[in-house]
Amino acid sequence: MRGLQAAGGAPLTGDTEDGAVPAAPLPGRRIAVLATIVPIVYALDLVTKTLVLRTLEGREPLVVIPDLLQFRVIFNSGAAFSLGTGMTIIFTCVAAAVVVAILRTARNLRSLPWAVTLSLLLGGALGNLTDRIFRWPSGFGPDRPSPFQGHVVDFIETFPGHFPVWNVADSAIVCGGVLAVLLAWRGYQIDGTRDTGAAKTTKDTKDTKDTKDTKENSDG
Could you read off the pLDDT of 60-119 as tens digits, one per residue? 999 999 999 999 998 887 655 555 555 566 767 778 888 999 888 888 888 899 999 999
d(CA 78, CA 75): 9
Q: What angle do CA 31, 152, 117 make, to 5 degrees?
A: 25
Residue 215 has pLDDT above 70, yes or no: no
156 vs 205 pLDDT, higher one:
156
d(CA 167, CA 73): 10
**pLDDT (mean) for 140-151:** 64
Residues with catalytic roles = 154, 170
State the chain's mean pLDDT as an integer: 77
Inter-residue contact 196 to 13 (CB < 8 Å): no
Backbone angles phi, psi at 151, to 5 degrees: -95, 135
Q: Whole-model pTM above 0.75?
A: no
Span 172-197, pLDDT tens digits: 999 999 999 999 999 999 988 888 76
CB atoms within 10 A of CB 34: 20
d(CA 70, CA 154): 12
What does the pLDDT read at residue 219? 56
